[in-house]
Amino acid sequence: MKPPVRWSEERSDGDARSGVMITPHGSVPTPNFMAVGTRGTVRTLDSEDLERLGANIVLANTYHLMLRPGADIVEDHGGLHGFMGWNGPILTDSGGYQVLSLEPDIAEDGLVFRSTYDGSRVDLTPERAVAVQEQLGSDIAMVLDVPVALPAPEQDVKAAMERTLRWAERAHAAKTRSDRALFGIVQGGTDAHLRRESARGTAMLGFPGYGIGGLAVGEGIGDRRRAIDACLPELPRSAIRYVMGLGDTEGMLDAISAGVDLFDCVLPTRLARHGKALTRGGDVSIKRAEWGNDRRPLASDCPCLACERHSRAYLRHLHRTKEILGQRLLTLHNLTYTYRLLADARAAIAEGAFDAWAEEVIARRQQGIDRTGD
């Protein structure tokens, strides 16, 4: 019997690689990006929007969905696919990162925290995190880990990494659905030795994919790259490599050059809600007064609805008047930009020209920041 989620490599260019991830709800070309639908929705968009944008996979959050509407309700509606009306692959985060902001009590058994919705006590163990995600019916579930806010004392990072390893073993044993996959998570902060130890220990459990957690939390790109470089040689080449929470252009391209396959981040959608558009010529703040009577689109080479039908002046007007349409149009634009970026990355790998292409992308954006940024 074939595993429910598996990855096959198609091309490589140096350490950068492209391939296909097979899931119960379809194939995902890699490298790829997952839009974040925390509560079962990507804000201001519906599933038909995501299909038109060319989204291959989306992410939802276990912590929020287990509290509202509750895993039982989602399960009764056919799991997240039926509940959201989304037929493509779904990955669910275990919720450990979100719980971290609630200052939970962390013990060997699991996490204890107060619900942000009604203040009730919630116990989240590695076993319950798996059980809830199996109820949600996501194609890929993540083990419960112990993130650490960086910078942190080395002993705290080490203790969290070691506990994450023990929890991964418990999660692996708790998995009951053979038609869904469970990914491990590598921790260890920016310490290369701890990262190697974590990756080696997690890989021994035999997951089909591995999240590289605890990054994209404010560390420098150099520290992040050293942490990624320490992990990847310890992980099976046939497994998916996923940097959790990373979604900026420069960060993703750097990680792809190291051999990473998958990303998620709220950045494209969050920036949209704050009036910033991602473009190949630099980020555009739609709040700027100079766009007040500008008839140009955000980007002349972008096929999204915002660029095909609307001017910068109109988008600025929507943002200033706090119209939901403005957030929706910028969200469509930023996700279009992000998906095109990853599609172009796959094409550059196939052509054996990834490094040169990535350098050109970054240089063009940097040149445009002074003209179009805040």
**What whole-number percentage of the chain has pLDDT above 90?**
90
**Active-site residue, selected from the candidate residues 13, 139, 261, 264:** 264
**93 noted as active-site residue:** yes
pLDDT of res. 297 = 97
**What is the rounded distance in angstroms from the CA atom of residue 185 to the CA atom of residue 212?**
6
The alpha carbon dihedral of 168, 171, 176, 180 has a sign of negative
Average pLDDT over residues 52-78: 97
CA 43-36-77 angle, to 5 degrees, is 80
Residue 147 scores a pLDDT above 90 = no
**109 noted as active-site residue:** no
pLDDT of res. 3 = 95
18 forms beta bridges with 11
Residue 8 scores a pLDDT above 90 = yes
pLDDT one-digit tens code per residue, 83-108? 999 999 999 999 887 777 788 999 99
**What is the rounded distance in angstroms from the CA atom of residue 22 to the CA atom of residue 19?**
10
Residue 229 scores a pLDDT above 50 = yes
Average pLDDT over residues 176-189: 98
Residue 13 scores a pLDDT above 70 = yes
Which CATH code fits 6-265?
A: 3.20.20.105
Question: Where in the chain are all domains bearing CATH 3.20.20.105?
Answer: 6-265
**Dihedral (Cα; 229, 336, 54, 360), 10-degree rounding:** -50
The half-sphere exposure of 361 on its side-chain side, counting CA atoms within 13 A, is 23
Q: What are phi and psi of 177, to 5 degrees?
A: -85, 120
For residue 185, the SS3 value is strand
Supply the pTM of this predicted model: 0.96
For residue 125, the SS3 value is coil
pLDDT one-digit tens code per residue, 274-325? 999 999 999 999 999 999 999 999 999 999 999 999 999 999 999 999 999 9
Residue 369 scores a pLDDT above 60 = no
pLDDT of res. 373 = 40
Residue 374 scores a pLDDT above 60 = no
Residue 122 burial by Cβ neighbours in a 10 Å radius (0-12, 13-18, 19+): buried
Tokens linked to 211? 């999240």
The alpha carbon dihedral of 154, 157, 160, 162 has a sign of negative
Q: What are phi and psi of 60, to 5 degrees?
A: -130, 165
Strands (E), the chain: 6-13, 16-23, 26-30, 32-36, 58-61, 90-93, 105-106, 111-114, 121-124, 140-142, 181-186, 209-212, 240-243, 262-265, 276-277, 284-285
CA 331-334-339 angle, to 5 degrees, is 120
**Active-site residue, selected from the candidate residues 13, 93, 139, 261:** 93
Residue 1 scores a pLDDT above 80 = no
The per-residue pLDDT of the chain, averaged, comes to 95
**What is the rounded distance in angstroms from the CA atom of residue 19 to the CA atom of residue 6?**
10
pLDDT one-digit tens code per residue, 236-283? 999 999 999 999 999 999 999 999 999 999 999 999 999 999 999 999
Kindly give, in sequence order, each residue whose CB lies less than 8 Å from that of residue 37, ignoring residues fewer than 6 positions away. 58, 59, 60, 84
Of 119, 93, 118, nearest to 38 by C-alpha is: 93
Q: Residue with structure tokens 């509750």?
A: 70
Give the pLDDT band (50/70/90) at residue 30. very high
Residue 370 scores a pLDDT above 90 = no
CA 12-208-111 angle, to 5 degrees, is 125
How many CB atoms sit inside 10 A of residue 256's CB?
Answer: 26
pLDDT of res. 218 = 83
Residue 358 scores a pLDDT above 80 = yes
Of 188, 265, 270, nearest to 232 by C-alpha is: 188
